Amino acid sequence: MKTIRHILLTQYKTIQSVIILTTFSILLLLLRIKLTNTYYFIFLIWNLFLAGIPYLISSYLSTYNTINKMSLLTISFVWLLFLPNAPYIVTDLFHLKYSHQDLLWIDTLIIIVFTITGLLLFYKSIKTMCLIFETYVEKRVVTFSLPILFMLVGFGVYLGRFLRFNSWEIINKPWTIIETIMSIILHPITYNYAWIFSIVFGATLYVGYYISDSTANKTKKAS
């Protein structure tokens, strides 16, 4: 109970924004269901739930003043496995090609609002993890590691969107995933699209993080 109270107090603004965005997203989705009598975009709710897992993990870790390094690395690995689920929602824009012309406007709005919600959770989670790791290593190490992190996230999105792997399949299909990853690493020319997507998508996310972080810091200084 104490942990939950701490998270609510320290993450109040983020939680408030997520609740507002999620409520609006669901209302748009309900409107589409009413208009079409179909549940086609209902999967976005599940995707948003998965996007919230890294945020919950990082928020939970932030409640500890100190934590065993081995425990931190283990939990951080789980965090990293689920982290691509948030920006993965961006690629749900692919589903617009199946939308009827008359519904394109609301389908676009639905995916955009879900995407904004997911990215809010994504960036906030990364910021929290950065602050946690800065208590164990130098800040510049964390800063220089960020581009690699975002590239890994881009690669994770590629594995999910194009190869259809899920985060939890590291448990029941570990060797399949490892073999796939090794093939991509060892044969970059054959899998050049995987590299291009991972780098470009990751770089785009990094730019978004940099801008949002810089804006937040300027706002704090101004206040």
For the stretch 106-159, pLDDT in tens is 999 999 999 999 999 999 999 999 999 999 899 999 999 999 999 999 999 999
For the stretch 152-200, pLDDT in tens is 999 999 999 999 998 878 888 889 999 999 999 999 999 999 999 999 9
Q: Which of 35, 54, 222 is nearest to 132 (CA)?
A: 54
Q: Give the whole-angstrom CA distance, residue 84 versus residue 82.
A: 6
On the 0-12 / 13-18 / 19+ scale of CB atoms within 10 A, 111 is: buried
For the stretch 197-214, pLDDT in tens is 999 999 999 999 999 888
Of 40-49, 85-94, 107-116, 168-177, which gets the smallest average pLDDT? 168-177
Determine the pLDDT at residue 152: 97
Give 219's pLDDT tier (boundaries 50, 70, 90): low
User: What tokens appear for 190 in the block?
Assistant: 């054959």
Place of tokens 């012309």: 101
- How high is the mean pLDDT of the chain? 91
